[in-house]
Amino acid sequence: MTKRTVKVGLCGLGTVGQGVLALLVEGNAAISARSAAHLVVTHIGTRTPRPEVDIGDAQDSRDVFAVARDPEVDVLIELIGGTTVAKELVIEALQQKKHVITANKALLADHGGELFALAEQQGVSLKYEAAVAGGIPIIETVRASLAANEVTSVAGIINGTGNFILTAMASEGRAFDDVLQEAQRLGYAEADPTFDVDGTDAAQKLVLLASLAFGAAIPGDAPFKQGVDSVAPEDLEFAKELGYRIKHLGIAQRDEETIQLRVHPTLIPEGKAIAQVDGVLNAVMINGTGVGELLLVGPGAGSRPTASAVCGDLVSIAGSLARDESPATPSMGVPIADLDSASITHIDDVSTGWYLRLDAEDKPGVMASITKCLSEKGIGIESLIQKPEASASADVPVIIVTDRATTRCLNDAVSTIEAMSSVVGRVTCLRVENFD
């Protein structure tokens, strides 16, 4: 039987683009068998020449839009990044009725609604498995495999840079800046690591994942963000002493009428599987009404894991084309017009446990004043550690883990505590989630 040839246009030939080319060559036989199609990269668009890369017989263009307008191209893969030219490129490809695959989480977090609607209008697919959690097949898992479930919550380590930093700080006792520099040397962090450090990268991925999981239209700026740089080495040490690990998580939770969306360092009981995911690995924990708790773990970045996700989307589209079926499934699981309007819970109203670290004078009555302040705000204490010092007059670190309290109540209590003459400096506040 003659297999259909599916012609692919590739825009962007950086590390991921090169990884896609390599996987298509290496896995040619398996890809052909699984898709019942013959996949050929026929046109490559790169703004920067890459003479060192073997592109075979593919046409090489400096204009990425030439790929989108090429009538021979069936599927366009967008790997140029950014949200300006990339948006124009995807729009052009969709208008030309090409199926599109992208790894661009920033583009979809900001403009996904518009682009997904256009794909539906044109009767083509816009797939984005590689945009969230790299090599973990989380998008297809939520969209298709868990279709019979009502997803109630999603929590994940979805930025490998942050996880690498916290892992190294915890295991080696190193300072944040030192580990960040190492992450940059190893290529885990960008030259400008701001989006990795402040939670922006994780927030963009969380918007996509939550929109899909909850069938809701969520604005790109909806998540609350607290960066990984708010964690000090001593916090990791005290957390371990208390039986916790600290991970930088993206958390989405559907309440009765609202959706929580937050990205922040989180203390997790060390017995939870997600607490043991270290290094540059990603992990996504999903709770569904049918499956219960599900944890997926894998590489969240890198040339080959990301390329693997891109190729997975490509095989899916090619298989449908080979069977003369339409591959144009809704990108969000349901048509864009059917997405719910999302009401986002304000962070002040979100309730969690809390880890507090402060320095206080080591004298009678100080601890009583601190605990009284928390009690007056209705905040119970689960654990308390007061570290002794050699000098009776020295300030001592005090570590408190509280019961659940809203951010508003906790902030009110902390403001009062910081105003005490016996308390030195600011109080470090990190959230605690037991995921019971």
Catalytic residue ranges = 205
- Token digits for 134? 């790299």
Instruction: Evaluate whether 46 touches 12 at the Cβ level (below 8 Å).
Output: yes
| Cβ atoms of residues 9 and 19 within 8 Å | no
What 336-340 contacts at long range (C-beta under 8 Å, 24+ apart), as own/partner pairs, is 336/113, 336/116, 336/117, 336/120, 336/217, 337/117, 338/215, 339/211, 339/215, 339/216, 339/217, 340/214, 340/215, 340/216, 340/217
Cα–Cα distance between 78 and 103 in angstroms, integer? 7
d(CA 372, CA 246): 27
Secondary-structure percent of the chain, ordered helix, strand, coil, rounded to 5: 40, 30, 35
Q: Are 427 and 417 in contact (CB under 8 A)?
A: yes
- The Cβ of residue 186 has, within 10 Å, a number of other Cβ atoms equal to 11
Answer for the pair 205, 133: CB distance below 8 angstroms, yes or no: yes
Query: Helices in 123-149 by DSSP H: which ranges?
Result: 138-140
Burial bucket for residue 55 (CB in 10 Å: 0-12, 13-18, 19+): middle
CA distance 85 to 347: 34
**CA separation for the pair 307, 385 (Å, rounded):** 47
Beta strand 340-341 with 292-299: parallel, antiparallel or unpaired? unpaired
